[in-house]
Structure formats: C-alpha cells, structure tokens
C-alpha cells in the first residue's frame, strides 16, 4: 500500500524552507524591494512571483546547466527556462552565431540569406514544407488558428481540457463540472469563448467524435502529450483515432510541439510518426531568444495561397514587425544545424532514462504514492500513484503544497525543478553527477517528509 505524506510534514517543510531561502538570499531580497516600486508585483513579468518563494530569486548568470543567483549561490538547472533553454543556457553554437551575426544587423523588414537554409532545415527535421516565423509560440498558435478559420470558413476550434498553448484566449475554456466555461483566471476577454471553442478530455475518443461530428470545427489544436498539467501521455491508438476523426470531418489537425520538441530531433511528430496538417515550434527554436515558427502541409499551403488571392491586401491580423528577423534566422539556423540532430539527442535521452530510473527507485524506496514518466529528454514525477489519462484527472490530483515543498527543498540545496509542476529536462551540459545530485536531493527530501 503506497504511503501518503503527512500534511503536517509538508507544511513544516514549507515553513522551514522559506526561512532558509530568506537566510540564503539577502541580495535577492534587497533587489526585490528595490524593484517593487517600478514593476507590477515587483517583477518584469508578473508570473515570475508564482514560484512561490518568499521573494523572487534574482539571477545574475546562466551557462549550460549552471545558474548563479545575485547572492552567488549556484544551481543545477533542470527547468531550463521551461524548455526555452532546452539546449542549455547560452548554448555555444548560438553564442557563436550571436557573436558572428550580432554586428550585422538584427532586423530589417526584409529576408536574409539564412531564410532559404532555415526553411530547408525545418522541412528536413520536422517534415512540413511551408513555414512562417513569429516572436513567440503564443503568436504562432494565434496565427495558426486564424489561418485555419480563414481557409475552412469554420468559426470553432477544439482544444483539450486543461491544455496550455500560451497567451491564446481562444484556448482558455475548461469543462470541469461538466459544462464548458471560460477559465476564470483569464483577464480582459469580452467574448463568450464557449461559442467558439469546444473542449473535450484528452484520450476520450467518443467525446472527440461527437464534438467533431457537426463539421463546424476549423482545427483541433493539440499538444501530442499534455505537458502543462503534469505530463499526460497519449493512450495507444489515440493519435491514429485523432487523425482519422479529423480527416473524416474535414478538421485540420495542428500539433503544438513547443514543449515536445524535447522528444527527439524531429519533435514528437517525427518520433511517433504523426501526420499533422500544421505544427507549432516555439521556445528553444532560436536557443531561447524570442522566436517561434509554424508550418503547414502542401495541401494546407495551397489552400492558404488560394484564399489570399481573394483578399484585399492590408493588415491581416497576423504579424509582427520583429518576426522573421535576420537575427532570429541566424540563431534558428545555429540551433537546427547543431542541436536538432540525432547525434545531439542520443545522450540527452540516455541521461533522461537514468533520471527516470533514479526517481522510480526513490519512489519505491520510500513507498510513496507517486509515479514518474518520461518522453525523450523530458521527465516528470507526479505526486499521485496512477498516471492521469486526461487534463481533468491531472488537475484534480495535482497537490500544489507538496510540489512546492519539494521544489523549495531542492532549490535551497542547489537544484532547480520547473515550477507549477515537476518537470525536469536534460540538456547537453547535464551530466550524470547532476542527475545523481537531483536524485539524492529527492531521496533526502522524502526521508524528511516521511519522518
Ligand atoms: N504551447 C505550449 C505547449 C506551451 O507550453 C507554451 C508555453 N509554456 C506555449 C505554447 C507558449 O509559449 P510562449 O509563452 O513562449 O509564447
């Protein structure tokens, strides 16, 4: 019988770790007080306070997996900017490209010679022939939704319960409690989103079939596995059912690979042979400098070209000025040539397997009701005995206090795990010693929690 962690032990650890965090970080504390006047919530992005520490950690430097805070404390980073730094902080090939190209202009509103090369690399790695650049994955998802609505003439989209595709209002609909409703956390949206967005649970084929039957859905926007509510894997056969149902109903299938690019050099799509109509690649595509891309099949591209012939030129609602810039292309080229390769991914996956095994052994040793999953270089432990099959189930079992207690314990001992859930990513700079330090930290943390 798996053991549950006593609630008192979690609360006691949180209290102890908060005190230790404050003691370890006097300069970050001072910086947070200095920044408080001029930044909303004292930080340049308001969600930066959501790590749950008494005040934010201010970071002075980050190289490879080594992150140094303003007080000079060092950390091994398994969060890696929540995938933005998937190939390590300041990866050498990207730094070289920056040094080489940085003096040659950042943005001109015209394409650079790298455009043809990067387009070819994208097709070679990810399999789709036609691409566009944006500044963020959120922008890419918004653009893709617009194209899909435009060429199908259908108003609705479909997403999975508790998905996250970035700051894309159309996707903020949940079905907790049975009826669809807009996520109450969403700010400033005046439309009734449930009129335009259908939502079903991941892995629920009958619900998907029913939702697509009216043939009024322009596209399904899906992560291939859910990665923003713990990690929810696709059941065997789910992707073929998803593809078959979308094809049968004339619905476009868009795979958001923003996080799943860590699955392999062609993302999850190539690794598992998916056949999407469109794809979004975000965060790490330019090594962590703002850039994302979206791509379409030849069939979709032909429909877009035809659609554009019927349009008066002008603002399309799809931008933005800094997208497709010279520097983005130069950095994407460096990332695609050097890191999205089978040679680069091999060691990452091997080390991720070690981490998965190490955590599984710690879970068994302590008999706690947890489990661990891995896809490619991405590992996640969840503080529940069974793997959730969909977002609704995952959201119900996620226990923020225990996650936070573990994160803060590890943070105070020099290990960073992704906040809001328990994701750990392996990058080229991660070593076996780093993995061991994380596993040993988790072991000691559980020893304290279980008394
Ligand atoms: N898609 C997915 C699957 C994501 O996880 C995220 C961000 N976590 C995004 C899109 C949006 O990325 P960005 O915040 O860089 O726009």
Whether residue 330 is found in the same domain as residue 353:
no
Note whether 65 and 106 are same-domain residues: no
Closest C-alpha residue for ligand 1 atom 2: 165
Alpha-carbon distance of 137 to 283, in angstroms, equals 7
Count of structural domains, the chain: 2
- Based on the domain organization, do 350 and 278 belong to the same domain? no
Tell whether 133 and 36 lie within a shared domain.
Answer: no
> What atom of ligand 1 comes closest to residue 292's alpha carbon?
15
3-state secondary structure 27-43: HHHHHHHHHCCCCHHHC
Note whether residue 82 is domain-resident. no
Atom nearest to 163 CA in ligand 1:
3
- The pLDDT, as a whole number, for residue 176 is 87
- Confirm whether 98 is domain-assigned: yes
- Same domain? 116 vs 202: yes
| Ligand 1 contacts CB of residue 283 (under 6 A) | yes
Rounded to an integer, what distance in angstroms lies between the CA atom of residue 139 and that of residue 136? 5
* Span 317-332, pLDDT tens digits: 999 999 999 999 999 9
Do residues 157 and 217 touch, judged by C-beta distance below 8 A?
A: yes
Distance (angstroms) between ligand 1 centre and the Cα of 95 equals: 23
Domain extent at residue 266: 92-338
pLDDT tens, N- to C-terminus, the chain (451 residues): 788 899 999 999 999 999 999 999 999 999 999 999 999 999 999 999 999 999 999 999 999 999 999 999 999 999 999 999 999 999 999 999 999 999 999 999 999 999 999 999 999 999 999 999 999 999 999 999 999 999 999 999 999 999 999 999 999 999 988 899 999 999 999 999 999 999 999 999 999 999 999 999 999 999 999 999 999 999 999 999 999 999 999 999 999 999 999 999 999 999 999 999 999 999 999 999 999 999 999 999 999 999 999 998 889 999 999 999 999 999 999 999 999 999 999 999 999 999 999 999 999 999 999 999 999 999 999 999 999 999 999 999 988 899 999 999 999 999 999 998 899 999 999 999 999 999 999 999 999 999 8
Are 349 and 283 contained in the same domain? no
**Are residues 374 and 418 located together in one domain of the fold?**
yes
198 lines ligand 1 (CB under 6 A): no
Give CA angle at 81 (333, 437), nearest 5°. Answer: 115
CB of 259 closer than 6 angstroms to any ligand 1 atom: yes
State which of 276, 304, 338 marks the end of a domain.
Answer: 338
pLDDT in tens, 34-83: 999 999 999 999 999 999 999 999 999 999 999 999 999 999 999 999 99
Does 70 lie in the same domain as 204? no
Nearest CA-CA partner of 170 in 185, 158, 153? 158
The residue nearest atom 9 of ligand 1, judged by CA position, is 166
- C-beta of 290 in contact with ligand 1 (< 6 A): no
If you measure from the C-alpha of residue 139 to the centroid of ligand 1, how many angstroms do you get, rounded to a whole number? 9
d(CA 384, CA 290): 35
Angle subtended by helix axes 298-309 and 137-152, to nearest 10 = 70
According to the model, what pLDDT value does residue 313 have? 86
Last residue in a domain, options 338, 362, 383: 338
Side-chain-side CA neighbours of residue 267 (13 Å): 30
User: What Å distances lie between residue 26 and 38, 93, 291, 397, 404, CA to CA?
Assistant: 20, 35, 35, 35, 21
Q: Kindly state whether residues 151 and 275 are assigned to the same domain.
A: yes
- Residues 424, 294: one domain? no
From the CB of 137, is ligand 1 less than 6 Å away?
A: yes
Any domain includes 85: no
CATH code, domain with 113: 3.40.640.10
**Mode of pairing for the β-strands spanning 278-281 and 292-296:** antiparallel
**DSSP characters over 279-307:** EEE-GGGGBTBS-EEEEE-HHHHHHHHHH
Give the integer Cα–Cα distance in Å for 297 and 278: 6
Based on the domain organization, do 168 and 112 belong to the same domain? yes
Query: CA angle, corner 343, sides to 380 and 414, nearest 5?
Result: 40
- Edge to edge, the sheet with strand 292-296 lists 130-134, 292-296, 278-281, 252-256, 217-222, 156-160, 197-200
Q: How far is the CA of 450 from the centre of ligand 1 (A)?
A: 35
- pLDDT score, position 1: 78
Reported as a single tens digit per residue, the pLDDT across 231-286 is 999 999 999 999 999 999 999 999 999 999 999 999 999 999 999 999 999 999 99
**pLDDT value of residue 178:** 85
At what angle are helices 400-411 and 432-449 packed, to 10 degrees? 130
Give the strand order in the sheet containing 423-425.
371-375, 378-382, 423-425
Angle between helices 432-449 and 7-24 (to 10 degrees): 130
At residue 88's C-alpha, the angle toward residues 85 and 90, to 5°, is 85
Residues 6 or more apart in contact with residue 19 via CB below 8 angstroms: none
Evaluate: CB of 171 within 6 angstroms of ligand 1. no
Q: Where are the alpha helices (DSSP H) in 310-341?
A: 326-338
State which of 315, 338, 361 marks the end of a domain: 338
Please report which helix (H) or strand (E) contains residue 252, including its range: strand 252-256
- Would you say the CB of residue 138 lies under 6 angstroms from ligand 1? yes
Q: Within a domain: residue 65?
A: yes
Same domain, 303 and 435: no
Q: How far is Cα 155 from Cα 112, in angstroms, rounded to an integer?
A: 36
SS3 230: coil
Query: Does ligand 1 lie within 6 Å of residue 268's CB atom?
Result: no
Residues whose CB falls within 8 Å of the CB of residue 281, separated by 6 or more in sequence, listed in order = 122, 126, 137, 140, 257, 258, 261, 267, 292, 293, 294, 295
User: Domain for residue 1, yes or no?
Assistant: no
Q: Is 223 in the pocket of ligand 1 (CB under 6 A)?
A: yes
427 in a domain, yes or no?
Answer: yes
* Ligand 1 pocket member 136 (CB < 6 A): yes
| Cβ-based neighbour number of residue 9 at 10 Å | 15
CATH code assigned at 12: 3.90.1150.10
Q: What is the interface pTM, i.e. ipTM, of the complex?
A: 0.99
Q: Read off φ and ψ for residue 309, nearest 5 degrees.
A: -60, -25
Using CA positions, which residue lies closest to atom 11 of ligand 1? 166
Whether residue 126 lies inside any domain: the answer is yes
Does residue 332 form part of some domain?
yes
Which of 209, 207, 230, 243 lies closest to 372, judged by CA? Answer: 230
Q: Is the CB of 204 under 6 A from ligand 1?
A: no
Q: Are strands 252-256 and 278-281 parallel, antiparallel or unpaired?
A: parallel
């Amino acid at each position: 019988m798996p053991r549950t962690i006593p609630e008192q032990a979690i609360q006691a650890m949180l209290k102890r770790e908060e005190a230790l965090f404050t003691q370890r970080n006097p300069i970050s504390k001072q910086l947070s007080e200095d920044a408080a006047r001029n930044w909303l919530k004292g930080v340049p992005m308001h969600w930066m306070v959501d790590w749950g520490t008494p005040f934010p950690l201010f970071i002075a430097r980050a190289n490879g997996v080594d992150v140094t805070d303003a007080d000079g404390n060092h950390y091994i980073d398994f969060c890696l900017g929540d995938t933005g730094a998937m190939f390590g902080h300041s990866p050498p090939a990207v730094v070289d490209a920056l040094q080489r190209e940085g003096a040659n202009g950042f943005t001109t509103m015209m394409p650079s010679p790298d455009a043809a090369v990067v387009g070819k690399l994208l097709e070679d790695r990810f399999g789709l022939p036609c691409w566009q650049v944006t500044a963020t994955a959120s922008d890419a998802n918004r653009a893709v939704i617009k194209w899909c609505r435009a060429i199908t003439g259908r108003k609705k989209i479909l997403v999975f319960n508790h998905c996250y595709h970035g700051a894309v209002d159309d996707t903020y609909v949940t079905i907790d409690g049975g009826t669809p409703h807009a996520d109450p956390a969403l700010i400033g949206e005046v439309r009734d989103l449930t009129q335009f967005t259908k939502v079903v649970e991941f892995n629920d084929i009958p619900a998907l079939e029913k939702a697509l039957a009216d043939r009024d859905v322009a596209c399904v926007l899906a992560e291939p596995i859910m990665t923003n509510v713990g990690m929810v894997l696709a059941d065997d056969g789910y992707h073929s059912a998803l593809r078959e149902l979308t094809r049968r109903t004339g619905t476009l299938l868009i795979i958001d690979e923003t996080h799943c690019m860590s699955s392999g050099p062609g993302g999850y799509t190539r690794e598992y042979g998916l056949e999407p109509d469109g794809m979004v690649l975000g965060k790490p595509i330019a090594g962590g400098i703002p850039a994302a891309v979206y791509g379409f099949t030849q069939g979709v591209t032909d429909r877009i070209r035809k659609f554009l012939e019927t349009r008066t030129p002008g603002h399309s609602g799809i931008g933005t000025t800094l997208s497709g810039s010279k520097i983005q292309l130069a950095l994407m080229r460096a990332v695609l040539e050097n890191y999205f390769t089978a040679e680069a991914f091999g060691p990452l996956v091997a080390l991720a397997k070690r981490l998965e095994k190490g955590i599984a052994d710690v879970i068994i040793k302590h008999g706690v009701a947890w489990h661990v999953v891995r896809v490619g270089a991405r590992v996640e432990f969840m503080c529940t005995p069974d793997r959730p099959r969909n977002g609704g189930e995952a959201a119900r079992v996620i226990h923020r206090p225990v996650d936070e207690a573990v994160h803060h314990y590890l943070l105070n001992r020099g290990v960073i795990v992704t906040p809001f859930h328990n994701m750990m990513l392996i990058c080229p700079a991660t070593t076996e010693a780093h993995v061991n330090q994380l596993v040993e930290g988790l072991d000691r943390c559980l020893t304290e929690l279980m008394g």
